[in-house]
Amino acid sequence: MTARERIAGNVANYVDERTGAAKWLKKNLNKVFPDHWSFMLGEVALYSFIILLLSGTFLTFWFDPSMREVEYEGSYLPLKDVKMSAAYASTLHISFDVRGGLLMRQIHHWAALIFMAAIVVHLLRVFFTGAFRKPREFNWIIGVGLLTLGIVEGFLGYSLPDDLLSGTGIRIAEAIIQAIPVVGTYLAFFVFGGPFPGEVFIPRIYIVHVLLLPGIFLALITVHLMLVWYQKHTQYPGPGRTEKNVVGYRLMPVYMAKAGGFFFIVFGITAFLGAVASINPIWLYGPYTPGQISAGSQPDWYMGWLDGLVRMSPPLETHAFGHTISWNILIPGLIVPGIIFTAMALYPFIESWMTGDKKEHHLLERPRNNPNRTAIGAMSLTFMLVSLINGGNDLIATHFHLSINQIMWGTRIGIFLLPPLVFVITKRICLSLQRADRESVLHGRETGRLMMLPHGEFVEVHEPLSAEQKWTLTQHEQSAPLEIAAEDARGVRNPKSIRAKLQNRMSRAATETISKPTSQEVKELESGHH
């Protein structure tokens, strides 16, 4: 034993005698994680968050969260001697006079976009594969909470520079707050410290942006990772994979090495984007003044769908009891997002209620094997995309030489027609893919080779699937629809008969599938008795 090994052993023994960490580390460092490319989406979100913390810390050294009026004396000549807030002036100072400041600003902004994109795609992966089912309902709720907080955090972040574009977004936020019946005006006065824009808004959202929300993020991410660690990771079905095991690599050394390398890949891509792709050039917009607004004012993409909903809403107002209720702001700005995010958070429980499924699930589902869930996801994405398109209707109109009214009415009609249409089409596609899987198991894979039989008939040669392929295509469970009687055997009406009828109908829709081939059918075909 070398001197270095002896010293390391003595240090490890010293720590273990006082903390008892050896047993815990041995158990957890040998923990196995499955290996699939889609699982890295959550890692991208985590690494982007770390980049956000590091770059944001750098920016706080020079940013002045104040709305006091100053004259700009920096190196950007087009704004020389222009009156602006100290927040805007300090952001210009970071961009033009701090070494590496503009790079850090752009890395921070790009990391925010990647962070939100990774959360959205990660949630979509979890949703379409059924990874939210028991026992991971709480983790799903945490994920929806992180998405919601990310939207708020991003909005507050690009509002801090106090440029014309961010000020326009703040003005829209103030209108949404004021649209709340009865208390909206009081809330707006409280948030802005008086009439808009006030002088305390930037300092307040700065504290929320750099202290309050990051603290909540850290807490939720920690709980999220702890639950993943405790409940073990889900895995895709395959040979040797069951509900009670995990097939993959140990945490040390393989998984940690891959995760560490992947962090630097994410950081490198983010830094490359920050270096070569301009984002949020605030110096082009100028300082915010309440009397000005710029054309082509779009928020970041994760807020664009909300802006699109507000834009497409027709002018509807109600005057009652001395109060004005602006439905054109209240419905798209608060009610619809509230319904969407509440439905997202409660969906695991809704699906469990529809199907009657109360079992634990550690194996993922192929999206085609749950057509109803996949169709709901596709329908929701269509709703968001139509809203997002309308969020940029002015730019679409100018670039494609279209009438903005045409785009507006197209999205208004499309947001009601396209989601149900996509639901039906997606469900039919999933059922068709199930039918194709059934045919592949029973008759083999199409080879594209034609063979002429002795009597002149041409037939396509099918290649039988391997045992592994057959197992993968047939291992999934198929639930039968619930049948809750509205009356008992004596004709006594169930007091919950309306609920029972609703549950029965929804259960039939949720469990609609193409029956997978049975082992008996496969044996009959293989023996030639068909």
How does pLDDT run along the chain (530 residues), one tens digit per residue?
688 878 877 887 887 777 777 777 777 778 888 888 899 999 999 999 999 999 999 999 999 999 999 999 989 999 999 999 999 999 999 999 999 999 999 999 999 999 999 999 999 999 999 999 999 999 999 999 999 999 999 999 989 999 998 888 888 889 899 988 888 889 999 888 888 888 889 999 999 999 999 999 999 999 999 999 888 889 998 888 888 888 888 888 888 888 889 999 999 999 999 999 999 999 998 898 877 776 677 888 999 999 999 999 988 888 887 778 889 999 999 999 999 999 999 999 999 999 888 899 999 999 999 999 999 999 999 999 999 999 988 889 988 999 989 999 999 999 999 999 999 999 999 999 999 999 888 888 888 888 888 888 888 888 888 888 888 888 888 888 887 776 666 667 766 677 778 888 888 888 888 888 877 777 776 665 44
Asked if residue 52 belongs to a domain, the reply is yes
Task: Give the CATH number, domain containing residue 166.
Answer: 1.20.810.10
Is residue 137 within 8 A of residue 288, CB to CB? The reply is: no
Domain-embedded: residue 240: no
8 Å CB contact between 204 and 162: no
Bridge partners (DSSP) listed for residue 317: 326
Residues recorded for the chain: 530
Q: How far apart are CA 216 and CA 218, in angstroms?
A: 5
Q: CB count, 10 Å around CB of 346?
A: 15
Cβ-proximal residues to 116 (8 Å cutoff; 6+ apart), any chain: 147, 150, 151, 154, 300, 301, 302
Could you tell me if residue 351 is inside a domain? Answer: no
Which string of DSSP letters, residue by residue, matches 186-219? HHHHHHHTSSSS-SSHHHHHHHIIIIIHHHHHHH
Reported pTM: 0.91
239-266 burial, b if ≥16 CB within 10 A, otherwise e?
A: eebeeeeeebeebeeebeeeeeeebeeb
The DSSP element (H or E) to which 83 belongs, if any, is: strand 83-85
Q: What distance in Å separates the CA atoms of residue 31 and residue 149, rounded to the nearest whole number?
A: 31
Radius of gyration in angstroms for the set of CA atoms belonging to the chain, rounded to a whole number: 29
Where do we find the tokens 């194996």? 363
Domain-located, residue 254: yes
Residue 12 lies in a domain: no
- Residue 117 forms part of a structural domain: yes
Residue with tokens 């009687």: 485
Q: How far apart are CA 296 and CA 459, in angstroms?
A: 60
Please enumerate in sequence order all residues whose Cβ is within 8 A of that of 7, keeping only pairs 6 or more positions apart, or say none.
Answer: none
181 is in which domain, residue-wise? 31-235+247-292
Using CA atoms, how far apart are residues 121 and 301, in angstroms rounded to an integer?
14
What amino acid is encoded at 209 in this protein? Answer: H
In a domain, 98, yes or no: yes
Give the Cα separation of 136 and 333 in Å (integer). Answer: 30
CB atoms inside a 10 Å sphere around CB 153: 22
Number of domains in the chain: 1
Residue at 69 is within a domain: yes
Query: Could you tell me how far CA 114 lies from the centroid of its own chain?
Result: 11
CB 434 within 8 A of CB 369: yes
Alpha carbon distance 384, 458 (integer Å): 49
Q: What is the pLDDT, as a whole number, of residue 364?
A: 93
